[in-house]
C-alpha cells in the first residue's frame, strides 16, 4: 500500500511540475525535489518507507499545487534597485565655481554642538570649568580649537611676566616676582644696569680724596686714642726700669739697666733673691695692667672698624641711593620688587669688597656662573612682551618637566650644583593667564604628569620641584622656588572612551573638567552642508598648494565622504582622511601631467589604498577559489547557509562568507552553539544564539514543549567569533534543517534578529556585501547571486561603483528584508506561513513544516522514554 501511494504521489508531482514549470521555476524545483525523495524511498524495501515522511510529502504536493497553480501567489521579494545602493552626487561646474568664488570659507562645519560647548567653557572663568574636547582622530578638533582660541584670545588682556630672583636671606628658597607684560625683560636690564652703575659709583666714591681724608681722619683719631691709652703704662714701665715690647705674636715686659739695656739672664741670676722677686713682681704687675689696656685697645679697634664700616656704608649708600630711588619710584606699587631692591641694596653694602676688587665690571657679569654677581641676575620664567592677547600654548609632549618646569643642575668637579638662574619654566608658566591645550593620551602616558596637573588646578599654583622628590625618592639637593599663582584654562584633547573612563574612575576629573565639547565625525546630508563641505575642501586645497579639483572630482569626494560616514544621509567631516585622499590624488595628477585633479584621480586614489591593504582578503578569496575554504555558491542545501563575517585589520576592513551549518535530531539538549562550547564564541555572539531559543519558543512552543537537539557551527572557523550579525543566518539554517527545505547557497545573509523575528541593522554592511561580491566575481557570476541585508541598513549603503554596476547589469543582487518570514521565503521559495486561530500554521508553509517536525521529534523522544521505562 505504501509503495502504491508513493507511486501515485510521484505521478501527481510530475504532473503538477509540468504545469508549474512554465510559470514558476522555483515551485517546479521544490516539486521535483519532493518527487526525487519519494522515488528514492519507493526504490527501497517497503519497510524503509517512513509514514511521516510520506504524509509530509503529500502535504507539500497539495500545498504547492494550490499555491503555485490555483492561487497565483504573490511575487517573490524584489531586489533593490541599483540607484538605492549608493548616493549619487552631481555638483555642476557652475555650482563648483560659485562655491570657490562666493561661498564663505568655514574653518569648521557640522560641529555646532561642540563649538557651543567650547564657547561656554571659554567664557566661564569659574573654577573647575576646564574643557574636555572629545572626538575621534581626523574630526578636525585641534584645528578648530586653535582657530576658535585665536579669535577669542585676541580680545583678552595679555598676562604679566614672572621671574625668579635670589633670596639673599635663604638661597635655598628663590623668590618669585610678578611684573606687568614685558616688564621682566625690562627689569632684568634695569638690575644689570643698576649693578654696573653701582660699581662705577662705588669705585668713584671710594677712590675719591674726600673718602680717603675721612678714612684717614678715623685712623688718626683712633691712633691718637691708642697712644693716649698706652702712654701712662709705657712711662710707668720706664720709671721702674722696664721696657714693653709688642710684636704680632707676643707681648714682652723686659727689665732694663740704667743704661736702658735689657738685663740678661746671667746678670739677673747674679742679683740677690730679694731683687729678683721685686723685678718679677713688678713685671707681673705691668703685664697685668698692659693686658687690661690691650682689652681696652681691642674695643678701640672695634670702634675704629665700625667707624670705617659706617663710613663705607654711608659712602656706598650715598653712591647708590640715587640709583635705587629711581627704581623704587617706578615700582612703588609692587611690594615684592621694592623688597627685592632693598635686599639688593643691603647685599651690595654688605659685600662692598666684591665690587671694589675688579675694575672691569663687564667681565664680572659675563664670568662663570659661580661668580658672586650672579646673585643679582633676574631669571625670567615667562616673557609676554610679544604676546598679543591671551597666550595659547599647545604641549604635545606633556611630560612632568615640560608642564611644570624644572631646576637644572651643572656638574662641577663631579658634583651637581644649581642656583636660581637654572630654574626653567614649563608649559603651565607660558600659558598662565591664557589657554593650555594638552592631548590626554600623551598626558596619561607620562608618569606623575596627570596627578601634578590636578594638584596645580586644585591649588591654583604651579610648583617647580623634582618629581622624585615629590614622591619621596632620593634626589640631589635642589631648590624650592616660590609657587607661582596659576590662572589658566586647560583644554584636554581625547577620545570619548578616555573621557568616560576618567569620569567614572577619577573622582577629581568631573570636578576639574566640567565642560565637555564633543566633536562629531559626520553631519546630515543637505545641499547647504554639501556646499559647506566643498568650501572646506577648497580651503584644504589652497592651504596645501594642491592642484585644483574639477566639479566631477568634488562630486566624487562628497560621495566618498558619505561612504566614510557609512550612511547615504550623512557626510563625513573627518577631514584628515579626506585631506590624505586629496594629497594622493594630487600626486597621481602630477604623474599624468594634468593641470587639475579629476574624478579619475580620486577613483585611482581610493582603489590604490584598497589595493595596498587587501592582501589578506585576496588570500582568503584564493582559498575559497581552491575549495580549501569550502563555500558553495550554487544549488540549495538543507541546514546550510552562507553568513558573512568581517575581519578588521585596523587600516582595512573586509567581509568574507562563512558556511554555517545546523543539524537537528531528537533530544532534550536544545540549541547547542559549538562556538560557545569550544570557547570560540564571544559574549555578543552567545547572546545572539540565545535569542534564537527565545524565538523558537515563542513561535512554536505555545502549545507544546520543544524537545530537540540542534547543533550550530561556523564551519572552518578557528578563531573567536564575536557579534550577533549572523544570528538571522543561523536562524534560517535552523528553520531549514527543521523544515527540510533547502536554502539557496547563492544568497549570503547578514543581519541580527530579535526574539520577535524582526531583522535588526548591523555594522560594516558595505564591507560585507562587497566581500561576498568579490568571492562571486572570482568564481564567476551566475546572475542569481546576492546578499540579503536588513531593511534598516538601506540608508547605510554606499557600495563601490563596480558593485552598483553589477547590480544594474543583473549580475548581482541586494535584497532588503525586515522579518525572518521575508527572509525564509526568499531563501527557500516557500511562503513562511501565518499562525491560525487554532495555534497551528497555514498548511505546508515553512512554519507549518517546522512545527510538524518538532511534533515528530517530540513523539520520537516520548516513544524512546516509554521504551526505557
- 3-state per-residue secondary structure call for 727-744: HHHHHHHHHHHHHCCCEE
User: In the predicted model, is pLDDT for residue 542 greater than 60?
Assistant: yes
User: In the predicted model, is pLDDT for residue 541 greater than 80?
Assistant: yes
* DSSP structure class, residue 43: T
Least confident of 20-24, 94-98, 223-227, 688-692: 20-24
Q: What is the pLDDT of residue 27?
A: 43
Pull the grid cell for residue 65. Answer: 499545487
Q: What is the pLDDT of residue 32?
A: 47
**CB under 8 Å to 357, separation ≥6 — which residues?**
none
- DSSP lists the bridge partners of residue 177 as 163
What class, spelled out in words, does domain 618-868 have in CATH? alpha beta
| Mean pLDDT, range 71-85, rounded to an integer | 73
Residue 3 φ/ψ, nearest 5 degrees = -60, -35
Cα–Cα distance between 62 and 241 in angstroms, integer? 165
CB 290 within 8 Å of CB 229: no
The distance of Cα 235 from the centroid of its chain, to the nearest Å, equals 96
Instruction: Please give the helix or strand (H or E) that residue 52 lies within, else none.
Output: helix 51-64
What class, spelled out in words, does domain 131-159+387-518 have in CATH? alpha beta
Q: What is the pLDDT of residue 214?
A: 85
Radius of gyration of the chain (CA): 50
pLDDT, tens digit (0-9, with 9 covering 90-100), for 597-630: 999 999 999 999 999 999 999 999 999 999 999 9
Tell me the three-class secondary structure of 812-830, residue by residue.
CEEEEECEHHHHHHHHHCC
User: In the predicted model, is pLDDT for residue 325 greater than 80?
Assistant: yes
CB 828 within 8 Å of CB 846: yes
What number of other Cβ atoms are within 10 A of residue 647's Cβ? Answer: 16
**CB under 8 Å to 423, separation ≥6 — which residues?**
164, 174, 379, 381, 405, 406, 407, 408, 464, 479, 481
Q: What is the pLDDT of residue 95?
A: 87
* DSSP structure class, residue 786: E
- DSSP lists the bridge partners of residue 485 as 461
User: In the predicted model, is pLDDT for residue 486 greater than 90?
Assistant: yes
CB 64 within 8 Å of CB 17: no
Least confident of 24-38, 167-181, 778-792: 24-38
Q: What is the pLDDT of residue 71?
A: 37
Residue written as grid cell 544564539: 689
Q: What is the pLDDT of residue 690?
A: 85
Helices (H) and strands (E) in the chain, counts: 32, 29
- Confidence class for position 869, pLDDT limits 50, 70, 90: low
CB 566 within 8 Å of CB 766: yes
Q: Would you say how long the chain is, in residues?
A: 869
**CB under 8 Å to 650, separation ≥6 — which residues?**
none
What number of other Cβ atoms are within 10 A of residue 91's Cβ? Answer: 22
Cα–Cα distance between 114 and 134 in angstroms, integer? 9
Cα–Cα distance between 397 and 427 in angstroms, integer? 10
Q: What is the pLDDT of residue 789?
A: 95
Q: Which is more confident, 174 or 75?
A: 174
The distance of Cα 156 from the centroid of its chain, to the nearest Å, equals 29
Per-residue buried b or exposed e for 257-295, using 16+ beta carbons within 10 Å of the residue's own CB: eeeeeebeeeeeeeeeeeeeeebeebbeebbeebeebee
- Confidence class for position 372, pLDDT limits 50, 70, 90: low
| Mean pLDDT, range 87-111, rounded to an integer | 82
- Confidence class for position 631, pLDDT limits 50, 70, 90: very high
Instruction: Please give the helix or strand (H or E) that residue 518 lies within, else none.
Output: strand 515-518
Asked whether this chain's domains 93-109+521-613 and 203-355 adopt the same fold, the reply is no
Task: Break the chain into its structural domains and give their ranges.
Answer: 2-70, 93-109+521-613, 131-159+387-518, 203-355, 618-868
Q: What is the pLDDT of residue 476?
A: 64
Q: Which of 725, 727, 723, 722 shows the shortest CA–CA distance to 696?
A: 727
Question: Which residue among the candidates 768, 800, 811, 852 is catalytic per the annotation?
Answer: 768
Cα–Cα distance between 704 and 378 in angstroms, integer? 92
- Confidence class for position 199, pLDDT limits 50, 70, 90: confident
CB 561 within 8 Å of CB 612: no
Residue 377 φ/ψ, nearest 5 degrees = -65, 160
**CB under 8 Å to 687, separation ≥6 — which residues?**
724
Least confident of 54-63, 602-611, 633-642: 54-63
Cα–Cα distance between 272 and 869 in angstroms, integer? 153
Pull the grid cell for residue 421. Answer: 638662574
- Confidence class for position 34, pLDDT limits 50, 70, 90: very low
Cα–Cα distance between 814 and 867 in angstroms, integer? 51
Q: What is the pLDDT of residue 838?
A: 83
The distance of Cα 457 from the centroid of its chain, to the nearest Å, equals 20
Pull the grid cell for residue 787. Answer: 546578499
Pull the grid cell for residue 423. Answer: 630654574
| Mean pLDDT, range 421-425, rounded to an integer | 92
Backbone angle region of 716, left / alpha / beta, with phi > 0 → left and psi within -120 to 50 → alpha: left
Helix H segments across 134-176?
Answer: 141-154
Question: Which residue among the candidates 134, 139, 579, 725 is catalytic per the annotation?
Answer: 725
Least confident of 304-313, 564-573, 842-851: 304-313
User: In the predicted model, is pLDDT for residue 72 greater than 50?
Assistant: no
Cα–Cα distance between 866 and 869 in angstroms, integer? 5
> 725 an active-site residue?
yes
Least confident of 84-98, 178-192, 221-235: 221-235
599-613 helix and 575-591 helix, angle to the nearest 10 degrees: 110
**Fold adopted by 93-109+521-613:** Helicase, Ruva Protein; domain 3 (1.10.8)
Cα–Cα distance between 746 and 749 in angstroms, integer? 10
Least confident of 55-59, 145-149, 275-279, 540-544: 55-59
Q: What is the pLDDT of residue 17?
A: 44
Q: Return the percentage of the chain with pLDDT > 90, whole number.
A: 43
CB 405 within 8 Å of CB 429: yes
Q: What is the pLDDT of residue 92?
A: 87
pLDDT, tens digit (0-9, with 9 covering 90-100), for 137-186: 767 778 778 888 888 888 889 999 999 999 998 989 999 999 999 999 99
User: In the predicted model, is pLDDT for residue 449 greater than 90?
Assistant: yes
CATH architecture of the domain covering 203-355: Up-down Bundle (1.20)
One DSSP character per residue, 350-384 reads HTHHHHHS-S-HHHHHTS-TTSGGGGG--EEEE--
User: In the predicted model, is pLDDT for residue 37 greater than 80?
Assistant: no
Q: Measured at the alpha carbon of residue 473, what is the angle toward residues 472 and 477, in degrees to the nearest 5? A: 95
- Which sign does the torsion angle of CA 273, 274, 278, 284 carry? positive
Q: What is the pLDDT of residue 107?
A: 67
Positions of E strands within 529-652: 570-572, 636-637, 640-648
| Mean pLDDT, range 711-722, rounded to an integer | 82
Q: Which is more confident, 256 or 388?
A: 388
* DSSP structure class, residue 523: E
CB 393 within 8 Å of CB 399: no
Q: Which is more confident, 761 or 226?
A: 761
- Confidence class for position 436, pLDDT limits 50, 70, 90: very high
Backbone angle region of 332, left / alpha / beta, with phi > 0 → left and psi within -120 to 50 → alpha: alpha
* DSSP structure class, residue 841: B
Q: What is the pLDDT of residue 361?
A: 41
179: helix, coil or strand?
strand
| Mean pLDDT, range 253-271, rounded to an integer | 77
| Mean pLDDT, range 743-761, rounded to an integer | 94
| Mean pLDDT, range 504-514, rounded to an integer | 93
> 158 an active-site residue?
no
How much is the pTM?
Answer: 0.76
Q: Which is more confident, 267 or 360?
A: 267
Cα–Cα distance between 750 and 770 in angstroms, integer? 12
Q: What is the pLDDT of residue 115?
A: 85
Residue written as grid cell 681696652: 296
Positions of E strands within 303-460: 379-382, 392-394, 406-407, 410-412, 415-417, 423-424, 435-439
Q: Which is more confident, 747 or 256?
A: 747
Q: Which of 56, 110, 95, 65 shows the shortest CA–CA distance to 521?
A: 110
* DSSP structure class, residue 390: S
| Mean pLDDT, range 528-554, rounded to an integer | 90
Q: Which is it for strands 435-439 and 392-394: parallel, antiparallel or unpaired?
A: parallel
User: In the predicted model, is pLDDT for residue 512 greater than 60?
Assistant: yes
Cα–Cα distance between 612 and 393 in angstroms, integer? 38
Q: Which of 493, 528, 492 shows the shortest CA–CA distance to 138?
A: 493
Amino acid at each position: 500500500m505504501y509503495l502504491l501511494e508513493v507511486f501515485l504521489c510521484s505521478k501527481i508531482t510530475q504532473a503538477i511540475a509540468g504545469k508549474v514549470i512554465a510559470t514558476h521555476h522555483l515551485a517546479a524545483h521544490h516539486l521535483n525535489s519532493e518527487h526525487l525523495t519519494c522515488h528514492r524511498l519507493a526504490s527501497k524495501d517497503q519497510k524503509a518507507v517512513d509514514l511521516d515522511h510520506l504524509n509530509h510529502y503529500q502535504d507539500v504536493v497539495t500545498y504547492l499545487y494550490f499555491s503555485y497553480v490555483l492561487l497565483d501567489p504573490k511575487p517573490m521579494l524584489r531586489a533593490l534597485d541599483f540607484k538605492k545602493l549608493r548616493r549619487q552626487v552631481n555638483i555642476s561646474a557652475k555650482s563648483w565655481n560659485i562655491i570657490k568664488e562666493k561661498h564663505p570659507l568655514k574653518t569648521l562645519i557640522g560641529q555646532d554642538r561642540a563649538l557651543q560647548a567650547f564657547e561656554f567653557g571659554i567664557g566661564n572663568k569659574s573654577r573647575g570649568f576646564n574643557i574636555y574636547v572629545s572626538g575621534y582622530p581626523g574630526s578636525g578638533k585641534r584645528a578648530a580649537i586653535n582657530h576658535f582660541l585665536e579669535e577669542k584670545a585676541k580680545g583678552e588682556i595679555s598676562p604679566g611676566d614672572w621671574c625668579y630672583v635670589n633670596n639673599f636671606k635663604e638661597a635655598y628658597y628663590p623668590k618669585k616676582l610678578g611684573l606687568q607684560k614685558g616688564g621682566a625683560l625690562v627689569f632684568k636690564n634695569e638690575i644689570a644696569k643698576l649693578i654696573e652703575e653701582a660699581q662705577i659709583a662705588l669705585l668713584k666714591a671710594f677712590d675719591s680724596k674726600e673718602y680717603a681724608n675721612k678714612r684717614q681722619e678715623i685712623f688718626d683719631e683712633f691712633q691718637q686714642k691708642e697712644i693716649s691709652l698706652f702712654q701712662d703704662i709705657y712711662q710707668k714701665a720706664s720709671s721702674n726700669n722696664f721696657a714693653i715690647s709688642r710684636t704680632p705674636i707676643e707681648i714682652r715686659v723686659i727689665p732694663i739697666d740704667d743704661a736702658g739695656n735689657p738685663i740678661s739672664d746671667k746678670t739677673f741670676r747674679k742679683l740677690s733673691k730679694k731683687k729678683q722677686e721685686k723685678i718679677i713682681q713688678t713685671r707681673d704687675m705691668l703685664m697685668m695692667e698692659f693686658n687690661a689696656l690691650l682689652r681696652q685697645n681691642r674695643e678701640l679697634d672695634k670702634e675704629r672698624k665700625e667707624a670705617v664700616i659706617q663710613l663705607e656704608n654711608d659712602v656706598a649708600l650715598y653712591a647708590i641711593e640715587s640709583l635705587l630711588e629711581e627704581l623704587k619710584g617706578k615700582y612703588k606699587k609692587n611690594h615684592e620688587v621694592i623688597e627685592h631692591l632693598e635686599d639688593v641694596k643691603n647685599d651690595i653694602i654688605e659685600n662692598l669688597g666684591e665690587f671694589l676688587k675688579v675694575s672691569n665690571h663687564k667681565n664680572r657679569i659675563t664670568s662663570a656662573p659661580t661668580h658672586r654677581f650672579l646673585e643679582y641676575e633676574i631669571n625670567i620664567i615667562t616673557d609676554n612682551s610679544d604676546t598679543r592677547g591671551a597666550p595659547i600654548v599647545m604641549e604635545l609632549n606633556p611630560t612632568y618637566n615640560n608642564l611644570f618646569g624644572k631646576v637644572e643642575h651643572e656638574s662641577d668637579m663631579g658634583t651637581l650644583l644649581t642656583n636660581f638662574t637654572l630654574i626653567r619654566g614649563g608649559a603651565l608658566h607660558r600659558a598662565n593667564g591664557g589657554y593650555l591645550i594638552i592631548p590626554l593620551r600623551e598626558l596619561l602616558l607620562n608618569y606623575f604628569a596627570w596627578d601634578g596637573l590636578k594638584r596645580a588646578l586644585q591649588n591654583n599654583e604651579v610648583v617647580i620641584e623634582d618629581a622624585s622628590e615629590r614622591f619621596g625618592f632620593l634626589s640631589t639637593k635642589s631648590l624650592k622656588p616660590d609657587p607661582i599663582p596659576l590662572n589658566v584654562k586647560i583644554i584636554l584633547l581625547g577620545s570619548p572612551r578616555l573621557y568616560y573612563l576618567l569620569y567614572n574612575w577619577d573622582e577629581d576629573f568631573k570636578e576639574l573638567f566640567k565642560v565637555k565639547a564633543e566633536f562629531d565625525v559626520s553631519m546630515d546630508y543637505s545641499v547647504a552642508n554639501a556646499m559647506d563641505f566643498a568650501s572646506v575642501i577648497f580651503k584644504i586645497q589652497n592651504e596645501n598648494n594642491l592642484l585644483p579639483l574639477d566639479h566631477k572630482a568634488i562630486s566624487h569626494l562628497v560621495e566618498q565622504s558619505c561612504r566614510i560616514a557609512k550612511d547615504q544621509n550623512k557626510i563625513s567631516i573627518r577631514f584628515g582622511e579626506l585631506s590624505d585622499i586629496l594629497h594622493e590624488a594630487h600626486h597621481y595628477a602630477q604623474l599624468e601631467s594634468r593641470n587639475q585633479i579629476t574624478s579619475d584621480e580620486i577613483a585611482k586614489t581610493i582603489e590604490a589604498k584598497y589595493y595596498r591593504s587587501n592582501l589578506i582578503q585576496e588570500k582568503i578569496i584564493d582559498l575559497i577559489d581552491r575549495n580549501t575554504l569550502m563555500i558553495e555558491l550554487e544549488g540549495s542545501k538543507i541546514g546550510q547557509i552562507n553568513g558573512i563575517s568581517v575581519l578588521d585589520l585596523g587600516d582595512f576592513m573586509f567581509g568574507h562568507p562563512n558556511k554555517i551549518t545546523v543539524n537537528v535530531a531528537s533530544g532534550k539538549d536544545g540549541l547547542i552553539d559549538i562556538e560557545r562550547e569550544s570557547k570560540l564564541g564571544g559574549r555578543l555572539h552567545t547572546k545572539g544564539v540565545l535569542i534564537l531559543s527565545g524565538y523558537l519558543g515563542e513561535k512554536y512552543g505555545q502549545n507544546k514543549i520543544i524537545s530537540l537537539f540542534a547543533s550550530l557551527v561556523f564551519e572552518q572557523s578557528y578563531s573567536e567569533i564575536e557579534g550577533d550579525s549572523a544570528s538571522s543566518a543561523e536562524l534560517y539554517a535552523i528553520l531549514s534543517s527543521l523544515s527540510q527545505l533547502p536554502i539557496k547557497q547563492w544568497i549570503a545573509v547578514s543581519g541580527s534578529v530579535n526574539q520577535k523575528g524582526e531583522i535588526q541593522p548591523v555594522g560594516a554592511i558595505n564591507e560585507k556585501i562587497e566581500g561576498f561580491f568579490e568571492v562571486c566575481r572570482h568564481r564567476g557570476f551566475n546572475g542569481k547571486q546576492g546578499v540579503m541585508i536588513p531593511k534598516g541598513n538601506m540608508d547605510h549603503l554606499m557600495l563601490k561603483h563596480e558593485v552598483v554596476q553589477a547590480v544594474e547589469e543583473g549580475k548581482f543582487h541586494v535584497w532588503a528584508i525586515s522579518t525572518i518570514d521575508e527572509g525564509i521565503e526568499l531563501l527557500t521559495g516557500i511562503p513562511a506561513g501565518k499562525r491560525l486561530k487554532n495555534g497551528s500554521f497555514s498548511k505546508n508553509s515553512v512554519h507549518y513544516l517546522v512545527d510538524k517536525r518538532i511534533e515528530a521529534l517530540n513523539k520520537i523522544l516520548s516513544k524512546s522514554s516509554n521504551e526505557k521505562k
